[in-house]
Amino acid sequence: MSKHIEDASTLPVSWTKSSASGNDNNCVEIASADGAVFIRDSKNPTGPALAFTRSEWAAALAGAKSGEFDAI
């Protein structure tokens, strides 16, 4: 389902960022609604977002936790 949303601010969601990110807006934010997970750049709240199914998001998190992306 991965898809691109042109303007993340049009999504009817509440965005969340990690408490470890600080106040400099140099991070990503996530939100969820209707079985999808959205991700956007916190520096550009009216910019694009990506949408993933919950299973796609779970697979990405599992890969990150297991070190699958450490070489990137």
Q: Please give the average pLDDT of every successive group of 10 residues along the chain, which has 72 residues.
A: 88 90 81 94 93 95 95 90
Predicted confidence at residue 1, as pLDDT, reads: 62
d(CA 2, CA 49): 10
In which element (H, E) is residue 29 found? strand 28-33
Query: Per the domain annotation, does 62 fall within a domain?
Result: yes
pTM, full prediction: 0.84
- Domains: count for the chain: 1
Query: Per the domain annotation, does 72 fall within a domain?
Result: no
Adjacent-strand bridge partners of 38: 31, 51
Domain hosting 11: range is 3-66
